[in-house]
Structure 1
Amino acid sequence: MNNMYFTEEHQLFRKSIQDFLQKEVVPHIEKWEETGSIDRFIWKKFGDMGFFGINYPEAYGGMNLDLFYTVILLEELQKINSGGFAAAIWAHAYLAMTHLNAEGDEAIKEKYLAPSITGDKIGCLCITEPFGGSDVAGMRTTAVKKDDHYIINGSKTFITNGVSSDYLVVAAKTNPELGNKGISIFVLDRTMNGVSATKLKKLGWNASDTGEIAFDNVKIPITNRLGEENKGFSYIMEHFSLERLIMGINAHARAEYALEYALKYMSERQAFGKTIDKFQALRHSIADLYTEMEICKVFNYNVATRLDKGEYVVKEATMSKLKSTKMADEVIYQCLQFLGGYGYMEEYPMARLLRDSRLGPIGGGTSEILREIIAKIIIDKKEYRPATK
């Protein structure tokens, strides 16, 4: 553990999360992986422990702690071997809730943010569309203003918590002719007329529900808009830095978990009269993989430090996700190979790890899109700025 980033208080917090996950979550993981549904009680237990309020204001029940408490939560969630469960938790706490906290007014925060922190309400973030993918500016969902309300029509897809959530943070075009300068953000209740969801089947992340959501003439009050009208694209881009860093941190944590598991297995597995961690070819492969993982981890910690200070780290967070998710896939692929036939068996963790990790280079912006963003910054000298500037 790098004490340059983690204090004694951080370490105590990590231990409390580890104990909580082992006691309250791990016994249920297999069931949730099989059913594709997470029991509601665990959300309230997370809320009671304060884990949803780590970096949110005390005024709404949060703890207002630094970003490395969040890093710890993310890392430990990856080490219980359920990418789906981890995704459900962080999609609520750091996708949906981030918008509520950053753009919501006092009434929104009291109605949605406060019960999100306590675990009484679950949220999801709805940006990706069936025809848009990573092209946020190309979204087709519209919100037409009429008197004191908006009428929302359209659809979203690949939405984590898209079926089970209580509210939805939705991006829609309020001024389509303006392109990405005509997008706004809204919060909708699941029970509003015209909101429907269909559960999708996936390769991995089986414990989380991923939904395709339709909006059919959904009428919402103007007061349900988050922030200013037509500023939604800037809000989304600003918060993408956190989402992409989160996925980078997730990646280095699951790679570290895979390496630790493989090393333990290799220290016990014998072939030709010695444990397989004594074979030079495997030892040197481990050395290379561990080096790649550590480089990504330290880079991610550096980006987290800068983000925690309020710096606008869109380039660095994009690099974090691009590099770390690719690294994790390669590490886990090799760790499965180290286990031989057992790596292919479901009773060992590598098969699920391999499936769950594969979403890393896809979700939150594909690696291809991320490379183009980085190229625009480096080659075209494009500047991304916060919505507040």
Structure 2
Amino acid sequence: MAVLFATQYGNAQDTPLISGGVGFFTNTTAGRTSYLPIISPVLAAPIGDHFLIESRATLLEDFTPKADGQSGYDHSHFIGLTYLQGDYIVSPHVTVVGGSFLTPFGTYNERLSPIWINNLQDGPLIQTLGVMTTGVGLGGQLRGSAISRHNFSIDYAAYFSTRSGNEQFNSKRSSGGRVSLYLPEKRLEVGFSYGRLLQGTQENFYGTHVWWEPKDSAFRLRSEWARGQHAQGYWVEADYRPTNFGGLNSWIGRLEPIFRIQQTFRIDSVATIVCQPSTHSVQTSAWTITYRTIREFSQAIRDSSRPAEMSTSGRPESYIGSSSRPGKENNNEPDTSSRLCFWSKCAPYAVSSGANSTSIESASLRAR
């Protein structure tokens, strides 16, 4: 469930924008149900023509049944900043970012992780690969559109993050970036990401992504592959709205089946198996198939998570940019989804690999 709200007043040019999402999740294990309401507000505050403050926070409450057969629930709460950054637009091709920012590796972390944008409740199994576990950096970043032509554009993002153990700004010392090529006529985006952990056991991360939404089509494909020193994996997600029975605004046209397949591999013996301790290397892999059917109630449906068309302003693609477009975040969309999961060697626990963590999920059926 997602709710989008905004506040506007005064001069529209310099008006701060507040948006965000509200979610309510449940988890049932052995007949014990936990409840997890969450609020995720987002702020974008322009200051003049060149400076912008961006931030997102998380307000979370957790109600868990008491242990040892006791009645009632234990309650805990969490309030924290996801990121807080300042953007200075130097030129049409360069934006300087400083503060706590989302790590620009792949596409999921920056574009799809908000609860009102992501098609599925769970993130990909490889979502921690390349983003240094926390998904957030503390330092500086250069990003923008390197080249913007009628038939193609290239954008870039390069960052350096320092090490921080602060509760609100937790990050690891690292560097890296991403380069993407977008072809407007083909509506195709391909990109390459690189990251290096510069503390503890230093290691390199590599990733690629492909987003494709054919012109004049209701089909959309998104995918990523990432590799670290101890693990690698991929995910492919596709969705389609049937248009042959009255168009997108018909009852059938508002249905949107969503399908995700993903797989992870442990690739060396440094990783430890939580559920199967061993003194020797154990080859471990996991893959899941997730599908979901959405009933659309809003006419605007598809722009929130399509490949971003590169502008010449140099402004970084942000959650504000995604959430302010007409898209899934504006919909009231009850849906059902189910997940089929398969694993080898170890289930349903986690495969721990130092800075990387791969979750092997159990099958479930949920409705939102």
- TM-score, length-scaled by structure 1: 0.23
Higher relative contact order (CA 8 A, sep 6+): 1
- Structure with greater strand share of residues: 2
- Structure with greater helix share of residues: 1
